[in-house]
Chain A
Amino acid sequence: MNAEKVLMKGNEAIAEAALRAGCRFYAGYPITPQNEIPEYMSANIFDAGGQFIQAESEVAAINMVFGAAAAGARAMTTSSSPGISLKQEGISYLAGAELPAVIINMVRGGPGLGGIQPAQSDYFQATKGGGHGDYHLLVFAGESVQEMVDLVGLAFQKADEYRSPVLLLGDAVLGQIMEPVALPEPVREEEMPPKPWATVGTGGKRSKNVITSLRLHPELLEEHNLKLMEKWRRMQANEQRSVSYRLEDASLALVAYGSAARICRRAVDLARQEGIQAGLLRPVSLWPFPERAFRETADRVDAFLVVELSLGQMVEDVRLATNCVKPVSFFGRTGGVVPTPAEVLDEIRKADPGTGAAPGVQSTRPGGCCR
């Protein structure tokens, strides 16, 4: 892309990216640290021919998105952790009714009202269901304003492709930071897939379309769920995304996503200056988890160090994806505390298999990862 770069705040760049991706319906409810997204949408979506509603609650917002998506529009809602919890019922309905929509969670510390500082403690909620029922979402997480912008475009595209809600995770670091960003060209109408299933009126030309997640007969519901599972298998086959950094000759693989990965990249550089062969494997798709990249990496490195802004959530998927063939240790700060690269470097020294102690002994779970 050779578009001219502009300096933009993350939240505003995300909103602009949504407009350029063809988002024509936005509903949201105020919550820090993502308020610039609804504010930007309210100022700009009408000129683009779209609609903005400040809903009476997050619950109403996600259901407005349900209606707009059912009527064929590219629709989005954004919020932060407590508000995303409120949207979970609606997200389950979207998944059950196979409606495309984009949801962005600028995660803040929890549980409860928690705080407003950066956190990654909603990983379980994002990747393991969140709402009720057998379902998965496509879940992406970027580490820079540019990547968040690119992922917004991808999210709308994949939502339509799979007829599924797509969840994008960020946090206050990515929402509030200003960085140079190359904005994509607006998506043209003809680039968007037709939606013959939409409930827009039959026009007297076809039988009625019905959008529902209700299937009272167990066999029919099972059949529907199996059909959804086929979709998730396709996602698992085709949508695994990850980025590696200085991993080619690494003996220790750091694992981090989103803003934690920014810190880890710096920590990897510091470790390399000390002669520690560290690298970084950064998941971009949190669901499907990039298992293939982890299996390949597990063959080459001696140990993993997972760094999260939580008490340890993604680390479980790392252990599952690698089948614990190499020790997996964990370092996390929580509640909105963001570690410095120096803190991570300390953990790298402890976890590095080359610096003395045996692998796994230094792990926060001594004796190996699966026991």
Chain B
Amino acid sequence: MTVVFQRPVTLSEKGTHYCPGCTYGIIHRMIAQAIDELGVAGRTVGVASVGCTVLAYDYLECDFLQASHGRAPAVATGIKRVRPDAIVFTLQGDGDLAAIGMAEIVHAAARGENFTVFFLNNTIYGMTGGQMAPTTLVGQKSTTTPGGRQAARAGRPIRVSEMLATLDGPAYIERVAVDRPANALKAMKAIRKALKLQVDGVGFSLVECLSACPTNWGLTPGEALQRVGRELIPYYPLGVYKDVTAKAGPDEDQTPNGGDRP
């Protein structure tokens, strides 16, 4: 009998605490699969952050730390510097990375630390119950923007991948989504590539995964996935924002798409 599909060894059998329709579980599975494919589970150290990813150490079978809010890139820096052979990654939500942890992510990227960041952007604080995040879209309702985010009161959302791509430090930055199979396949490819670049010692890699949060968006799982394509991707275009390994010249497949660039 040929096995054509199975649970990655690095994905634990424990059920997650994620809400129905949350896409974090899909992304965890992809990370586990990439670790399996690269054969590096035995030297991988994950860094969970504060937010819905806080319990990631229960779901992935590798050594794990749990960092304070926003500081996962600093913690990962400490691990990687003293254990350069370890494969180190962080799992961070948009509140963690783009609000309280903005200094740490910018400087880890600028230093070109050779670890991988999985940035799960669902445009809202999930764990604390749906407050506005730096990534919340203008007009989007949250518990702290009850009438919808107004730019005059609460500013405008931050595009993290674009911003970090202006730095010379990072080796690879790509934004992906898992709202439909075609995008999920690209996401898998990006996650694998980010970890592979670290294994090869190329440098800092970040994959921003647009994610659905039906619970805090007030949508059904199906509607939430549709919202990713309808509202998130136009503001947060998918694609490769930085790749030091790319050949020179424009590559159709790698150019960010899905909306006007700012």
Contact = CB atoms under 8 A, between A and B. Distances in A.
Interface of A: 24-25, 27, 50-51, 53, 55-57, 59-61, 63-73, 75, 89-90, 93, 97, 199-205, 208-214
Contact of B42 (A25, A69, A201): A201
B126 to A, nearest CB: 16
Contact of B83 (A89, A200, A202, A208): A200
Interface stretch (B70-78, B129-137, B168-176, B181-189): B70-78
Given A25-B78, A210-B63, 7 more contacts: A57-B103, A59-B103, A59-B104, A71-B82, A75-B78, A90-B71, A214-B55
13 contacts: A24-B82, A64-B74, A65-B78, A66-B68, A68-B81, A71-B78, A71-B82, A72-B82, A72-B83, A90-B68, A200-B43, A200-B86, A202-B62
Contacts of B47: 67
Interface in B102-152: 103-104, 106-107, 111
B195 interface: no
Interface string B61-100: 1111111100100111111111100110000000000000
Contact of A55 (B61, B62, B74, B106): B74
Interface of B: 41-45, 47-48, 54-55, 57, 61-68, 71, 74-83, 86-87, 103-104, 106-107, 111
B78 A27 contact: yes
Interface of chain B: mostly helix, strand, loop or mixed:
helix
Given A60-B104, A201-B44, A214-B54, A208 B63 contact: yes
Nearest to A70: B65
A67 B77 contact: yes
B64 A53 contact: no
Contacts of B81: 25, 51, 53, 64, 68
Contact of A64 (B43, B57, B68, B77): B77
B42 A203 contact: yes
Question: What 10 pairs between A and B have smallest CB-CB spacing?
Answer: A67-B78, A212-B66, A201-B43, A68-B78, A63-B74, A67-B75, A204-B42, A63-B71, A64-B78, A199-B63
Contact of A214 (B42, B66, B78, B83): B66
Contacts of B66: 97, 210-214
B76 A67 contact: yes
Given A199-B45, A204-B41, A211-B66, A68 B79 contact: yes
A202 B63 contact: yes
B64 A210 contact: yes
Nearest to A65: B78
A201 B68 contact: no
A60 B111 CA distance: 13
A89 B67 CA distance: 11
B43 A63 contact: no
Nearest to B83: A71
B242 to A, nearest CB: 20
